[in-house]
Amino acid sequence: MERRGTAAVVLLAVAALAAAEAQLSPAFYDAICPALQPTVRRGMAQAVQKEPRMGASILRLFFHDCFANSSDGSILLDDTPSFTGEKSAGPNANSVRGYEIIDGIKAQVDASCNATVSCADLGGPNWTVQLGRRDALTASPNVNLPSPLSSLPALLSSFRAKGLDARDLTTLSGAHTVGFARCSSFRAHVYNDTAVDSTFAAQLRAGVCPWTGGDGNLAPLELQGPNKFDNKFFRDLIARRVLLRSDQELFGGGAASSSTTDGIVRAYAANASLFADDFAAAMVKLGNLALTGSNGEIRLNCRRAN
Ligand code: HEM
């Protein structure tokens, strides 16, 4: 990561292959689609150049995909009259974005690699991305995601259910160093909460987040640079200047004793490269929640099962 910004977030929409090849591997497509990584990087770089927020949006899309079952492209399936998937689920509807960027990159990769390419692989360029994920055949609106009002115990148990611990939770929440949230996601925190800096909350109330209306108004999750991937989010947490109640639970005593996550927040606030290294490792862990081998399929169109 090394503070390269959200352009660092890359989508490796890749493909499938031989049922014999059951493990994820960075070299999975070296032989069948050598153009994959440059094509994906170029597609993401263009998208981020056009709209800087898109890196954050794709990063979040990846997280939401991985938490609902696994990192299997299930979030990309469109609803139909007889099928309700993840797109219309509460945390995703009118909030997760970037689907058309994935469609565009998938088309470019397929053009060079003969439709060997699936929709499920995603990661960042400055760590080694494991490849070989397969696409889900279906999806469900039950997406297992914590809410922005979740307490620390609720956050911990939702991450534990995915094999992720308190450190992973704290590290991955550092993704909120980039991107934006809607007023409807943080209204309760800036109007009704005490675990927030009062000046910060007053600014948001007077500015982008009125008590009624303005639900879709956006504020940056990290004030000083919503398009820059750095460790400032953890300093904001210590200063109680973050938008989401769930994030503040990681520091300063929420409902439960948070001594474990307090210590990790302090360490990241003091050491940007510790955070960057841990973030890369945690993203690999998140992406390893995957379908491999002969499970699932290689979708031709990311929006529907073959
Ligand atoms: C720990 C539990 C988490 C909760 C409760 C949570 C909740 C949220 C909420 C409510 C928003 C604003 C959405 C909106 O208002 O439309 C958001 C944005 C975002 N989240 Fe999380 N999140 C969590 C963890 C994560 C993780 C693990 C990642 C990635 C590794 C992530 C990446 C992002 C990004 C990048 C954005 C900004 C997206 C954009 O600007 O389009 N979040 N999150």
Q: Quick one: pLDDT at residue 126?
A: 66
Ligand 1 pocket check: which of 60, 278, 289 to mutate, most ligand atoms within 8 Å of Cβ?
60
**Alpha helices (runs of H) in the chain, residue ranges in sequence order:** 36-50, 54-67, 99-113, 152-160, 166-173, 183-192, 198-206, 232-238, 245-248, 259-270, 272-287
* Same domain assignment for residues 139 and 15: yes
Question: Is 135 annotated as ligand-binding?
Answer: no
In a domain, 294, yes or no: no
112 inside domain: yes
Task: Please tell me whether 100 is known to bind a ligand.
Answer: no
Cα 186 to ligand 1 centroid, rounded to whole Å: 12
Q: What are phi and psi of 220, to 5 degrees?
A: -70, 135
Q: Is residue 244 part of a domain?
A: yes
Q: Which atom of ligand 1 is nearest to the CA of 53?
A: 40
91 is in an annotated binding site: no
Q: Which domain holds residue 103?
A: 6-144
Establish if 242 belongs to a structural domain: yes
CATH number at residue 168: 1.10.420.10
Q: Is 297 among the domain residues?
A: no
159 & 247 share domain: yes
144, 162, 190 - which closes a domain: 144
- 132 plus 179 within the same structural domain: no
Task: State which ligand 1 atom lies nearest to the alpha carbon of 59.
Answer: 35
| Tens digits of pLDDT across the chain (306 residues) | 333 333 233 334 322 222 234 578 888 888 888 989 899 989 988 998 999 999 999 999 999 999 988 899 999 999 999 999 999 998 999 999 999 999 999 999 988 887 665 676 434 336 778 888 999 999 888 888 999 999 999 999 999 999 999 999 999 999 999 999 999 999 999 999 999 999 999 999 999 999 999 999 999 999 888 888 899 999 999 999 999 999 999 998 654 555 789 999 999 999 999 999 999 999 999 999 999 988 999 999 999 999
Does 296 reside within a domain?
no
Which one is catalytic: 64, 245, 285, 303?
A: 64
pLDDT score for 22: 55
Does 64 participate in catalysis according to the annotation? Answer: yes
Domain count for the chain = 2
Q: Are residues 206 and 82 in the same domain?
A: no
Q: Say which CATH number the domain at 105 has.
A: 1.10.520.10
* Distance (Å, whole) CA 85 – CA 270: 41
In this structure, the answer to whether residues 53 and 110 fall within a common structural domain is yes
User: Do 219 and 269 reside in the same domain of the chain?
Assistant: yes
- Within a domain: residue 228? yes
